Structure 1
């Protein structure tokens, strides 16, 4: 059992060699599978104290009908790491039970089940939390962290904003004007592009800023929220226009921007995300140029990469009053160096020759260190089965926040968001902004 393996290493796991359902880019909710394992844990909330034993149960069904005597393969271990147990069993009357052991320190224990039927392989995941509120981050905080970013913002603002707006008549409605916008950022001539939605009715409105999830893709704009009486701004981070053909974005994703997530990461002044983080602050500068903005009430929200950028923007710009960050990426990146899951984009899962330089540089970009700077109320949400932004890294970030905070766990979800999470975010943000 896994507990024996974990005990053998005296509290350390095991030394290993080392995305838009709404508003932000993330994987859509997956379609139901024909074959299901019906995984469940012996604690309904999936939360355990360190040392408690986990039992995983399931019932194999194909299109709703129980399958008998089915081979169930399973792997168990700390999430995202090499499994400590790899084994199989035969179900009895469709049912099976797996003793999964325990953990000896706070973290997440994951079981991956694989079943082959009629030539097709099916996969399910279930993840147990052990004292998640005690998970502490692994990343260090540089002594000059905020000085570095305040200077970078000051230097960036010496470049004229040069805002431009083009009305998109085919996207606009009777209620809204929809614009493609751009502004200068980082270097003269370098621009950030976005889609801005502004209510047509006379008045001044609160604003919601939405940075994007990972990848290279079109930005559509959030007309739905804008119709409820909000200015909404969605931006792209790569400095490319938003009116290109889909094939052009795919080509860029496989060429120019293929490695943007790690480009320049060994130097804090050359990492790709320096331009991105500064561009998010400039987006707030842009919102403040709009005569329709009420000049006070503004929130940031996003998921995955956009969740990290939400934390970053809120930490760097005290004009933001509220935030809602879902499954933030770039969180506790160094986790893998401490024998546990690290954050997307998982650059330390395979250790390169320049690891030490990257570790020092990325301390200035880790979402955990921005989370520590947040001073305004926030809503946070993620799932335990997330294999892109692991829940260990999510709790590393959430536990670092000292500002008023609310956590909404959707434990069954992976790197996607369900309707309840969507509604929670929408209601929470709009109610906060309308109170003022």
Structure 2
């Protein structure tokens, strides 16, 4: 009999977990919560540890400046006992000040960072809301509603358990009329508890990239229908090598495709695809359509906010470090959100009026303003992919019930406890 190897998928937020290294460079502000009032001074402690013990005589280079911006202070010093405390200065406007320290030992470079937040709940976004923002999206949703769902489910017996049926799902969704083979398709993995009655549902939206998905059987075994989707209009159960090829080929830099045209920008199909996923869940006889939630991290955090903002059938959302938030920050002298489209090597092409205008229709800040559903949010101050200046820009404009759990020392990754807290909160809401 032919043996088939199936990929076991971790939650998206776990894929970028930091790798343990022999030498650790630990940088921490002197307030235990890493938070300061504007104008208040911060001091950073830099520790170099090997096997948990201080490394004596190491030469450390540290740079201090606003996150993601050029350093305003740089110095190289030798530390006698493995620890050094430096004056970091302050910030007179709400934001984040970061200290990055590097050390060379035995021919290898080790790096650590610590980030102080200055009145972060007072950060205001730089992006503006287009006057026709709602009419644009109302029109887009109306166009989506004209496209039949045309759902096609394929049972995956090898993934089913004694408590859960698992399906590969293929849905029809909106696609720009001048793209080939439209309408487009949306694919995902559906996990349905076995048994009678209706169950709450959890839509799981993906982080950035191109990959297969395995479905969330664990939560389904707890009595929740789960639907884990991809965004690229391709099946999500192919050989992993297919996605590797696509990531460096057709889908490379997909976040910039058609940025000069709000009607054809890549994320229009993605955002509407998330609503189509809600359409599908609400249509299932096994789903209680009054108890649906959405969750994800990074790009998935952005899609969670967007989906809940555009679709009132979503009653709760859980978002880790939402991407696509206040992307115009870089045009205003501060950090902007992933995909950092207005800085670095792409800036010469993107910093144009038509692209800046299009970005506003897709910026998470403008969706966060619309939220009515209660939400739980979580991130850290050391995130260099979705900088906290950008995520606070979105969080601070939310008027719906909200809570933020900070794990200050995390970057673009989560602790197991952080994931557990979020999942437990979502289950608590759904199972009430």
Measured against the shorter chain, the TM-score band is over 0.9
Q: TM-score, normalised by structure 2?
A: 0.94
SS of the counterpart of 1:328?
Answer: coil
Q: Give 2:223's match in structure 1, choosing from 229, 235, 253.
A: 229
The reply on whether 1:184 has 2:186 as its aligned counterpart is: no
Residue 83 of structure 1, CA deviation: 1.3
Identify the match of residue 239 of structure 1 among 230, 233, 236.
233
Equivalent residue for 2:5? none
CA-to-partner distance for each residue in 1:170-204, whole Å, 9 max, x for gaps?
A: 00111000000011111344200000000011121
Matched pairs, number: 416
Following superposition, the deviation at residue 157 of structure 1 comes to 1.5
- 1:23 Cα offset (Å): 3.9
C-alpha separation between the residues in 1 aligned to 2:9 and 2:237? 21
Structure 2 counterpart of 1:36? 24
Contact 2:204 2:296 in 1 (8 A): yes
Distance across 1 between alignment mates of 2:322 and 2:246: 24
Instruction: Work out which of the residue numbers 62, 66, 73 in structure 2 matches 1:74.
Output: 62
1:53-100 deviations in whole A, cap 9, x for unaligned?
111113322122322121011111110111112211110222211111
Q: 1:61 aligns with which of 49, 54, 78?
A: 49
Partner residue of 2:4?
none
Uncovered stretches (5+) of structure 1, i.e. residues with no partner? 1-19
Task: State yes or no: 1:390 paired with 2:387.
Answer: yes
Q: Which moved more, 1:200-209 or 1:184-193?
A: 184-193
| Structure 1 consecutive aligned stretches of length 4 or more whose deviation exceeds 3 Å | 20-28
- Give the whole-Å Cα distance in 2 for the aligned partners of 1:300 and 1:356: 33
Give how far 1:234 is off: 0.5
Matched residue, 1:213: 207
Residue 353 of structure 2: aligned partner: 356
Q: How does 1:138-157 map to 2 (within 5 A)?
A: 138-157=126-145
Does 2:390 match 1:402?
no
**Aligned-residue offset at 1:161:** 1.0
Shift of 1:40: 2.2
Whether 1:287 and 2:284 are equivalent positions in the alignment is no
Aligned counterpart, 1:379: 376
Deviates more, 1:348-357 or 1:280-289: 348-357
State which of 303, 307, 317 in structure 2 corresponds to 1:323: 317
After TM superposition, give the deviation of residue 352 of structure 1 in Å.
2.4
1:420 is aligned to 2:400:
no
Q: CA deviation at 1:22?
A: 5.5
Change (3 A) 1:29 1:259: closer
For residues 393 and 183 of structure 2, what CA distance do their matches in structure 1 show? 38
Deviations 1:228-262 (Å, cap 9, x if unpaired)?
Answer: 00000010000011232111111100110002011
Extract unaligned runs of 5+ from structure 2.
Answer: 1-7, 176-181
Q: Could you tell me whether the CA contact under 8 Å between 1:57 and 1:98 is conserved in 2? A: yes
Contact 2:305 2:368 survives alignment (8 Å): yes
Q: Match for residue 15 of structure 1? A: none
Corresponding residue number in structure 2 for 1:429: 426
Is the Cα contact below 8 Å between 1:27 and 1:415 reproduced in 2? no
Out of 312, 320, 342, the position equivalent to 2:336 is 342
Q: Is the 8 A contact 1:171 1:178 kept in 2?
A: yes
Which of 153, 158, 163 in structure 2 is aligned with 1:170? 158
Please say if residues 46 and 84 of structure 2, whose CA atoms lie closer than 8 Å, have aligned partners that are also in contact: yes
CA distance in 2, matches of 1:298, 1:98: 49
Larger relative CO (CA 8 A, sep 6+): 1 or 2?
Answer: 1
- Residue 149 of structure 1 aligns to a residue in which SS? helix
Once residues 357 and 272 of structure 1 are traced to their aligned partners in structure 2, the CA distance between those partners, rounded to angstroms, is: 15
Question: In structure 2, how many angstroms separate the alpha carbons of the residues matched to 1:280 and 1:67?
Answer: 50
d(CA) in 2 for partners of 1:189, 1:313: 20
Distance 1:122 1:226 in 2: 41
The equivalent position to 1:297 in structure 2, one of 274, 291, 294, is 291
* TM-score (normalizing by structure 1): 0.93
Deviation at 1:108, TM superposition (A): 0.3
CA contact (8 A) 1:209 1:284 kept: yes
